[in-house]
Structure 1
Amino acid sequence: MSAVGADTYPEFPGAVGISELTAYSWPTADDEHGGSPHMHLTCTEAYAVIGGRGRLQTLTHTGPSVQELNPGDVVWFTPGTIHRAINDGDLHVLVIMQNGGLPEAGDAVMTFPPEYLSADRYGAVASVLDDGGNPSEERARARRDLAVEGFCELLRRCEAGDYSALDHFHRQAAALVAPHLDNWQKLVEQGAAAVAAEALEQIDALRAADAGHLKRATVNRIASPPQTTLGMCGFLHAYDVARRSGPQRR
């Protein structure tokens, strides 16, 4: 079984996605600095802190929490965790995502106020492209501010013991991503599920004293991606996107 097509690199270990994140230092209305609060619906995410300091603010049905982010720390959180990277000073993180390719395919919903969480409104406020189709820091900052506004209201309601707004956000998020589910299934089947199945095939082969797959070993390298993109939490170097663009073996 082959987990990838001929026009791509092999999958990263476990078919994860990898990005290098420099958290936004832009100030927010609630006297913090950082990125857009959002939630993944099918992907666990991990932060491995490689520089600076900050905090990960989260909200789940068990309540709000804050995790310190210092060099060497690793924090991970499962689908349904609303999270927000707060930059307390040059926060620099390696982001590892379950199900590589899914975040780029829409597996994230920002915490905009409810009136923006409809199919006909969400896309316009979520886009970072200006009227000329170019990435715009102004647009990225505006969507961050809108997500912080919605998040602060969710946080206020939950801290008061009212989780109905969080439940409503979950339902709206599920409705927003519904058109993408068939594509997500294909990405998982061709990525994480295929990689796991390949490993099980190799175990079966070894039981039969067949070590033939070891002859097909490869070494791959991706140089630091030159392009910086405007992510939800900060400026990104997206290694998974570079991997999927095609092999440049050295």
Structure 2
Amino acid sequence: MQTLTTSGFQETPLAPDTVARFTPGTNPPPRQRRGPGRGLEITVVMQNRGLPEAGDAVLTPPRDLLADPGTYADAIRVPADGTETEQAQAVRTRRDLATRRFLELREATENGDPEPPTAFQRAAADLVRPRPDAWERQWREGVHGAAEATRAQLDALRGKDDAHPTAARVFATGPAASGRFGTCGRPAVRPGVWPPVM
């Protein structure tokens, strides 16, 4: 997996049972693989109830496509009403655009020029700046709610109230019906379908 951060370029070997974790500001998401990779299945787990799928992850297209949210959205759009072939072609096109720019950013970093990656990160932040209110609602309903429930359970145990296990439930969901393309492939489960329980 190839990644680029303000610390530089890094290659992380992937093998069965490898867990590779990266934080916001790492680009691109794990779609750059080198080597045979045959039979290697990659599972991507997203924090914050799928915020990267909700637009938090910004791909690395050419600079002019980062000019404004509309231009960027058009560049990465996968036609929801398109045929499977049209959708797959749109995904390949945006992948190729992002890969070319990623390679340019990597080359700049390896040549000691931090400005292009830094400029990309500034442009990415500008693109998503209007969206935090919606993402905060998603976070509050998801992981924040789960953390608050855990805090309440710990407080209850400290207060010798052990009633919360009587509310225990099991939740499961099947694969996404649409099989739509996501940021890192085809999500097996729709973002945000899990109840806010941990």
**Is TM (by shorter chain) over 0.5?**
yes
Q: Give the conservation status (yes or no) of the 8 Å contact 1:222–1:239.
A: no
8 Å Cα contact 2:44/2:184 also seen in 1: no
Q: CA RMSD in A?
A: 1.9
- Residue 107 (str. 1) matches residue 64 (str. 2): no
- The 3 A distance-change label for structure 1 pair 199 and 243 is closer
Counterpart of 2:151? 200
In structure 1, stretches of 5+ residues that fail to align are 1-55, 245-250
Amino acid at match of 2:25: G
Amino acid at match of 1:126: I
Could you tell me how far 1:242 is from its partner in structure 2? 4.6
Residue of structure 1 equivalent to 2:72: 122
2:130 counterpart residue number: 179
SS in 1 for 2:13: strand
TM-score by length of 2: 0.86
Question: Which residue does 2:43 correspond to in 1?
Answer: 94
Shift of the 191–213 alpha-carbon distance from structure 1 to 2, 3 Å rule, reads: same
1:154/1:165 contact within 8 Å kept: yes
Cα separation, 2, equivalents of 1:90 and 1:236: 19
More strand by share: 1
Q: Deviations over 1:110-135 (max 9, x none)?
A: 001111102231111101117x5456
CA distance in 2, matches of 1:75, 1:101: 17
Are 1:230 and 2:181 matched, yes or no? Answer: yes
Gaps in structure 2 of 5+ consecutive residues: none
Identity %: 36
Match of 2:110 in 1: 159
Aligned length: 188
Label 1:242 to 1:203 Cα distance change in 2 as closer, same or farther (>3 A).
closer
Residue 186 of structure 2: SS of its match in structure 1?
A: strand
CA 191–207 in structure 1, closer or farther in 2 if over 3 Å, else same: same
Alignment of 1:209-220 (within 5 A): 209-220=160-171
Cα distance in 2 for partners of 1:111, 1:76 equals: 19
Q: Distance in 1 between matches of 2:145 and 2:194?
A: 17
Q: Structure 1 residues 90 and 239 mapped into 2: Cα distance closer, same or farther (>3 Å)? A: farther
- The match for 1:69 among 7, 14, 30 is 14
Note if 1:80 corresponds to 2:25: yes
Judged with a 3 Å threshold, the aligned counterparts in structure 2 of structure 1 residues 231 and 60 are, in CA distance, closer, same or farther, namely same
Higher helix share: 2
Which of 171-180 and 186-195 deviates more?
186-195
Contact 1:227 1:237 in 2 (8 A): no
